[in-house]
């Protein structure tokens, strides 16, 4: 820091003293304000509540707009009520709602609540769910550390926005005219290198949203609502912002859930990155884990012995000689039992006989249903003789238990991500957990990416959307070339979306990208050399359709000395390893490069429709490079 700069700060501080001389503020508060005012050349713009120190309840004493974002400040001798600090936050957030700077609309994550106490304060300090508490001598910590989210010009334009929206806040030491820069010296922070966020082609998802996303975050829905849109359009991002929005309005506990067990953990980590102070207010749990914990809490058994369930199914499959002949695919008939019969809560042959099986592929003789039903009944008998429950049983039990005795305290809101993968029973359970009230259930999904068997309507689960929801269309993940290629995959949407927007209609935000279509015989060496040729330390995944292929490729990479690990069990945090797994294990993730080896179409492969959707889901995990193998 230069001497001239120190001198200038001192001059600003004295100017502030003069400006605030006649305000009847306690001297410690004045000292705090002088300190903030001295940072004007560093792009800090304070706005003081005109009634301070008699600021009305639920309003901030001071709002600071700077490169670190917006600080909602309470100047207090004692710890404020959490309702007060939260209400001050919400009041400021509402004033800023929809403020647009650069390429995005501001999200509430740029705001932080801070309580500044006098230096002698001996009470609680540090971070809590509602604010950061510091004393007057710790202000440097607040100003010098942490991420730089805004440029000085953006901070000024936000400060002006606040100034124009309310008479309650008055600028100190700056006004709506451009702030004159001092000649001759360059403040320290302006010499810092450009932060990575500003070098990106678009802004950080934590702080900037597009108008459709922001609209849905803030909208009030009178009942269950749906967020849909093609891959990469920021559906999960929106869901996280909405959870934070609801959490900040203090309505109670919130639940983020998804049918695929690995998704909540990966997404919880993103939420933690965006709003660490709120993480205690949102539960991140898969629907199965929720059902299991709920049943155990009610003293009921809920364990699924997956090995034993597999053995029960295999015992029936080995004895069977009819279904084998109709379609020799264990996965197909397992889906028929799990997803079509049990998953839809079908409990009589009559109901099954007339059931619509849209999307299950044709080519079965007309009279296959009695055989499939017998198979299902045999499987149920096997389970009960072995005394085991499968996943559907657990969801069903939880549903029955909830209907018998509802939750003592309802969630304020439930978000179900990857909703297209739910069975009807799963949907009913999610609905029973959330209830039907305003803002209580938000379904997030994209039918084109459904990797599990589907084909039912929300009305089967008693859910009515009545047009409540949003369709997102800007793809923030896939570069243009990747998006164009993935958009060519014919993937039929069987999920109940109104209207359903296909990937081919998504609008790319990021230009460029590369798609390599490799044709040949030796795909192992081709994939390895493509993998090794990528930029060092860039994230990469090899995505397969089947578990067997994933295991095969994991072995190939490891034998060749490539650090690789399975996608299953990965929590979504950055890793230098190449991740390997199926398209369903790849859900909830994205990589700079994605490699899709060719797989022989054998009996273990899903029906064509599902295969196509899995391919689309896998391709759209790629941000910059998509490598596709075609065997001769």
Residues forming the annotated binding site for ATP? 229-236
End-to-end CA separation in angstroms for the chain: 65
203 binding ligand ATP? (CB under 6 A)? yes
How much is the CA Rg of the chain, to the nearest whole Å?
28
C-alpha–C-alpha distance, residues 127 and 137, integer Å: 16
Nearer to ligand ATP, 165 or 270 (CB): 270
In sequence order, what are the residues at sequence separation of 6 or more whose Cβ sits closer than 8 angstroms to the Cβ of residue 429? 287, 291, 395, 398, 399, 402
Nearer to ligand ATP, 208 or 456 (CB): 208
235 binding ligand ATP? (CB under 6 A)? yes
**Out of 43, 66, 224, 234, the residue judged to bind ligand ATP by CB under 6 A:** 234
Minimum distance between the CB of residue 291 and ligand ATP, rounded to whole angstroms?
23
Minimum distance between the CB of residue 414 and ligand ATP, rounded to whole angstroms?
17
Subset of 466-485 contacting ligand ATP (CB under 6 A): 476-477
Size of site (CB under 6 A) for ligand ATP: 22
209 binding ligand ATP? (CB under 6 A)? yes
411 binding ligand ATP? (CB under 6 A)? no
Minimum distance between the CB of residue 312 and ligand ATP, rounded to whole angstroms?
33
Query: Within 10 A of 87 (CB to CB), how many other CB atoms are there?
Result: 18
Minimum distance between the CB of residue 405 and ligand ATP, rounded to whole angstroms?
34
213 binding ligand ATP? (CB under 6 A)? yes
Minimum distance between the CB of residue 632 and ligand ATP, rounded to whole angstroms?
31
202 binding ligand ATP? (CB under 6 A)? yes
CB distance 280 to 605 below 8 Å: no
**Out of 232, 264, 426, 597, the residue judged to bind ligand ATP by CB under 6 A:** 232
Minimum distance between the CB of residue 336 and ligand ATP, rounded to whole angstroms?
27
Strand partners, 134: 116
Nearer to ligand ATP, 174 or 476 (CB): 476
Subset of 575-604 contacting ligand ATP (CB under 6 A): 590
**Out of 142, 231, 394, 461, the residue judged to bind ligand ATP by CB under 6 A:** 231
Subset of 419-448 contacting ligand ATP (CB under 6 A): 446
Q: C-alpha distances in angstroms, 431 versus 410, 415, 437?
A: 12, 10, 10
Query: Within 10 A of 596 (CB to CB), how many other CB atoms are there?
Result: 23
**Out of 28, 45, 205, 627, the residue judged to bind ligand ATP by CB under 6 A:** 205
Alpha-carbon dihedral sign for residues 87, 92, 98, 101: negative
**Cβ-closest residue to ligand ATP?**
234
CB distance 86 to 104 below 8 Å: no
Backbone phi and psi for residue 586, each to the nearest 5 degrees, phi listed first: -85, -10
**Out of 89, 208, 294, 333, the residue judged to bind ligand ATP by CB under 6 A:** 208
Of the candidate spans 235-243, 380-388, 450-458, 485-493, the one that interacts with ligand ATP by CB under 6 A turns out to be: 235-243
Of the candidate spans 171-179, 226-234, 243-251, 454-462, the one that interacts with ligand ATP by CB under 6 A turns out to be: 226-234
Q: What share of the chain is helix, strand, coil (3-state, %, to 5)?
A: 45, 15, 40
**Out of 236, 257, 392, 546, the residue judged to bind ligand ATP by CB under 6 A:** 236
C-alpha–C-alpha distance, residues 500 and 224, integer Å: 17
Of the candidate spans 86-94, 197-205, 333-341, 549-557, the one that interacts with ligand ATP by CB under 6 A turns out to be: 197-205
Known binding-site positions: 229-236
CB distance 549 to 564 below 8 Å: no
Subset of 604-623 contacting ligand ATP (CB under 6 A): 620
Residues in the chain: 632
Residue 41 DSSP label: G
Residue 146 DSSP label: S
Q: Up-side HSE of residue 244: CA atoms within 13 Å toward CB?
A: 29
Subset of 69-128 contacting ligand ATP (CB under 6 A): 104
Token readout for 310 is 């597999």
268 binding ligand ATP? (CB under 6 A)? no
539 binding ligand ATP? (CB under 6 A)? no
C-alpha–C-alpha distance, residues 255 and 267, integer Å: 12
Nearer to ligand ATP, 104 or 264 (CB): 104
Nearer to ligand ATP, 423 or 449 (CB): 449
C-alpha–C-alpha distance, residues 9 and 39, integer Å: 7
Q: Is 441 left (phi over 0), alpha (psi -120 to 50) or beta?
A: beta
Nearer to ligand ATP, 209 or 461 (CB): 209
C-alpha–C-alpha distance, residues 523 and 537, integer Å: 23
Query: Within 10 A of 358 (CB to CB), how many other CB atoms are there?
Result: 12
The residue written with tokens 């010098």 in the block is 144
Minimum distance between the CB of residue 449 and ligand ATP, rounded to whole angstroms?
6
Binding site for ligand ATP (CB under 6 A): 104, 202-203, 205, 208-210, 213, 229, 231-237, 446, 449, 476-477, 590, 620
């Amino acid at each position: 820091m230069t001497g001239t700069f120190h001198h200038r700060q001192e001059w600003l501080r004295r100017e502030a003293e003069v400006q605030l001389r006649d305000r009847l503020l306690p001297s410690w508060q004045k000292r705090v304000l002088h300190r903030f005012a001295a940072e004007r050349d560093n792009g800090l713009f304070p706005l003081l509540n005109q009634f301070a120190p008699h600021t009305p309840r639920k309003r901030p004493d001071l709002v600071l707009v700077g490169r670190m974002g917006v600080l909602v400040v309470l100047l207090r001798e004692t710890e404020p009520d959490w309702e007060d600090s939260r209400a001050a936050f919400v009041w400021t957030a509402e004033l800023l709602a929809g403020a647009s700077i650069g390429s995005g609309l501001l999200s509430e994550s740029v705001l932080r609540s801070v309580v500044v106490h006098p230096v002698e304060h001996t009470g609680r300090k540090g971070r809590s769910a509602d604010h950061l508490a510091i004393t007057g001598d710790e202000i440097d910590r607040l100003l010098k550390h942490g991420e730089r989210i805004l440029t000085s010009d953006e901070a000024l334009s936000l400060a002006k926005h606040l100034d124009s929206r309310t008479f309650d806040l008055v600028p100190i030491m700056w006004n709506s005219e451009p702030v004159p820069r001092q000649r001759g010296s360059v403040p320290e922070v302006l010499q810092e290198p450009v932060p990575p966020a500003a070098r990106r082609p678009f802004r950080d998802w934590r702080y900037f949203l597009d108008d459709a996303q922001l609209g849905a975050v803030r909208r009030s829905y009178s009942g269950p609502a749906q967020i849909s849109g093609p891959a990469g359009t920021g559906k999960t991002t929106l869901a996280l912002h909405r959870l934070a929005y609801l959490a900040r309005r203090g309505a109670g506990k919130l639940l983020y859930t998804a049918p695929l067990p690995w998704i909540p953990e990966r997404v919880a980590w993103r939420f933690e990155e965006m709003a660490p102070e709120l993480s205690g207010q949102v539960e991140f749990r898969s629907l199965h884990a929720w059902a299991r914990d709920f049943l155990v809490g009610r003293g009921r058994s809920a364990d699924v012995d997956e090995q034993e369930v597999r053995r029960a199914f295999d015992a029936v499959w080995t004895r069977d000689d009819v279904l084998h002949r109709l379609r020799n695919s264990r996965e197909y008939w397992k889906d028929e039992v799990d997803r079509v019969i049990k998953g839809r809560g079908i409990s009589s042959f009559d109901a099954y006989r007339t059931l619509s099986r849209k999307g299950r592929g044709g080519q079965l003789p007309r009279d296959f249903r009695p055989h499939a039903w017998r198979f299902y009944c045999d499987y149920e008998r096997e389970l009960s003789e072995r005394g085991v429950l499968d996943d559907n049983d657990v969801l069903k039990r939880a549903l029955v238990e909830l209907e018998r005795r509802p939750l003592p305290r309802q969630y304020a809101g439930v978000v179900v991500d990857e909703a297209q993968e739910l069975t009807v029973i799963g949907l009913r359970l999610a609905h029973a957990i959330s209830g039907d009230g305003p803002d209580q259930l938000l379904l997030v999904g994209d039918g084109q990416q459904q990797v599990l068997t589907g084909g039912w309507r929300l009305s089967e689960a008693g859910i009515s959307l009545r047009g409540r929801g949003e369709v997102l269309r800007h793809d923030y993940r896939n570069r243009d070339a990747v998006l164009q290629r993935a958009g060519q995959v014919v993937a039929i949407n069987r999920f109940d979306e109104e209207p359903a927007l296909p990937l081919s209609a998504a609008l790319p935000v990021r230009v460029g990208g590369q798609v390599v279509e490799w044709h040949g015989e030796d795909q192992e060496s081709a994939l390895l050399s493509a993998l090794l040729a990528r930029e060092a330390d860039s994230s990469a995944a090899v995505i397969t359709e089947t578990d067997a292929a994933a295991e095969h490729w994991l072995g190939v990479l490891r034998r060749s000395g490539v650090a690789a690990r399975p996608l299953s069990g990965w929590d979504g945090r950055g890793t230098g390893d190449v991740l390997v797994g199926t398209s369903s294990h790849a859900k909830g993730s994205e990589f700079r490069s994605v490699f899709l080896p060719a797989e022989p179409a054998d009996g273990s492969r899903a029906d064509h429709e599902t295969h196509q959707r899995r391919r689309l889901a896998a391709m759209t995990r790629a941000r910059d490079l998509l490598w596709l193998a075609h065997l001769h």
